[in-house]
Structure 1
Amino acid sequence: MVGTAPRNTGMEGVRGGVGVTALLVAAARAIETHRHDSLAQDDYAEHFVRAAPASADWPVRIQQAPGGDANPLWGRFARYFGLRTRVFDDFLLKAAHTGGARQIVLLGAGLDSRAFRLDWPAGCVIFEVDQGDVLTFKHTVLDGLSARPRAARTTVPADLRGDWAGALADAGFDTRAPSVWLAEGLLFYLPAAAETRLIGTVDRLSTAGGALAYEVKLDKDLREYRDSPLYTATTHQIGIDLLNLFVHEPRPDSAAALEDMGWTTSVHTPFDFTSLHGRGPLPERNDALAGNRWVFAHRTRP
């Protein structure tokens, strides 16, 4: 059982901007954890939420949310994050247990606690790449809980808009070993050129047997959903205007680029996995999730 972390541990890095979205995902994971039909368990998530001044009064159980599951933010949107967590958990564990990957690289790791909550094979190393202030807060909260990772864990402070490969190499990443990569909730916030560089870097640092999962939006104009219940609820209830944080420019076709580089890819809607698991968001009118896609890739060439 996870203990109690100290409150208000000075998470300066998540009081505004993209960093605070990590708290939104943590709150969603906490709500998912306490559901009777939970798809993903994260006992650390609510401690991150409670420790940061920006989110200390947010709900961490669906019963605490106004309107419960009818609340677009803490109902449908939180369910989306819970489903996404489960799907990407499954992808990473399959790559490690059956695909032979022993290096797991979390790009834009945020307040993800996969190193602590998932059942990793012996010999795995988890690399968490993100901004230094986010990683510092995370470290403080987890230390306060006396949390112990289930695999070797290395944090890599780096700006993913720039050259982060050197920092990863300095942290001990081995380009000769099969690796699995995850960019969860990251690419929305990067310029198109940075996404192209990131995908190219993952290819350059990967060997045969490598795997990658990431999330993209295919909407031509995100602003057409500005008045959607999901975006308006997020803005009004917790003061996060996601559309102001997203980069509004044409996105590269990274799946096609990976195919050209010798990867096999599959592209899915979140609703595909709602059908698979029997719970999660379903399509609706004026749907801010309509353009979301989850991409899964495997490198087949040496």
Structure 2
Amino acid sequence: MTDTAHRSTSTEGVAGGVGLTALLVAAARAIETHRHDSLAQDIYAEHFVRTAPASASWPVHIGQVPDGDANPLWGRFARYFGLRTRVLDDFLLQSVHAGGARQVVLLGAGLDARAFRLDWPPGCVIFEIDQEGVLAFKHEVLDGLSATAKATRVPIPIDLRADWVGALTDAGFDAAAPTAWLAEGLLFYLPITAETYLIDTVDRLSAGGSALAFEVKLEKNLLDYRDSPLYVSTKDQIGIDLLTLFDGEPRPDSAGDLRSKGWSASVHTPFDFTHRHGRGPLPEQNDALEGNRWVFANKPRP
């Protein structure tokens, strides 16, 4: 295989669709990393962006954006992803250091480099589930950087529409041990039946002491926000039309479902954490973030 053919094959998983959104989040994390008031550090993010032809020209520093933080995409939206990264980093570290979980499952892991950049306790295992093409690209970039994971990392190349439970179990997952689960930027791409199945499955596979964080959108009609600055700028500047990727069905009450199964669950707006950290997006008119919610759930120990 020629170098050109290899490069083409290795980047197929992030060349379009939902895979391309993984590069968007990586670019946002790179921009956040270089901020003087950074909320999260990801030294690998810009390498993902620069390696993929689809994103090679995107900014990885806010100084590369002519209108800087006034840019709806690379300013406000990127800061949203930076805040989300920090909040979910904190959730996972709390779950393993204080909560005692030693298994972490990243559902739709994308270009998440948490296994490499966070400080995990001894004996921690990180299971990363995503499509084969996305993980192949990720491996190529990280291998090229000689990156070393800070925990045992187990990639599981499988689509979440397939038998990911069987693949996870075969990879060594122990349903009898507490687990920290994360579904970051995932559920709003899934049909309602897939979201319900995922929540039910996480409950079934979770021992007492497990924790789950996920992101949902509560808008009754996503198209009401089709002219929002975030959606328009994302489509115009980098060609990603998020509204064609999101599932348009009314969303289930997954937090309520977990409560009915005995979990505790708290639901927050991103703006709650903007106030907590002193930086991040604030509400605005015609706001594509208005319906976004971050949910944190815990399953009590017996």
TM norm structure 2: 0.97
SS in 1 for 2:193: helix
In 2, distance between residues paired with 1:99 and 1:66? 44
How far 1:126 moved relative to its partner? 0.3
1:93-133: per-residue Cα shift (whole Å, max 9, x none)? 00000000000000000000000000000000000000010
Residues 1:43 and 1:9: Cα distance change in structure 2 (over 3 Å): farther
Deviates more, 1:12-21 or 1:275-284: 12-21
In 2, distance between residues paired with 1:14 and 1:154? 20
In 2, distance between residues paired with 1:128 and 1:163? 15
Contact 1:7 1:51 survives alignment (8 Å): no
In 2, distance between residues paired with 1:129 and 1:116? 16
Contact 2:10 2:140 survives alignment (8 Å): no
How far 1:301 moved relative to its partner? 5.1
In 2, distance between residues paired with 1:270 and 1:8? 37
What is the aligned partner in structure 2 of residue 32 from structure 1?
Answer: 32
Q: Answer yes or no: is 1:93 the counterpart of 2:127.
A: no
CA RMSD of aligned residues (A): 1.2
Structure 1 unaligned segments of length 5 or more: list them.
1-5
1:165-208: per-residue Cα shift (whole Å, max 9, x none)? 00100111011111000000000100000000000110011000
In 1, distance between residues paired with 2:171 and 2:242? 32
In 2, distance between residues paired with 1:98 and 1:13? 36
In 2, distance between residues paired with 1:140 and 1:194? 30
1:37-89: per-residue Cα shift (whole Å, max 9, x none)? 00000000000000001000000000111310000000000000000000000
Report the identity percentage. 75
Which runs of structure 2 are paired with 1:62-211 in the superposition (5 Å)?
62-211=62-211
Which runs of structure 2 are paired with 1:277-292 in the superposition (5 Å)?
277-292=277-292
How far 1:162 moved relative to its partner? 3.4
How far 1:161 moved relative to its partner? 2.5
Structure 2 unaligned segments of length 5 or more: list them.
1-5
Contact 1:9 1:52 survives alignment (8 Å): no
What is the aligned partner in structure 2 of residue 21 from structure 1?
Answer: 21
In 2, distance between residues paired with 1:161 and 1:285? 36
1:143-178: per-residue Cα shift (whole Å, max 9, x none)? 000000000000011111233100100111011111
Contact 1:262 1:301 survives alignment (8 Å): no
1:220-269: per-residue Cα shift (whole Å, max 9, x none)? 00000000000000000000000000000011110011011110000000
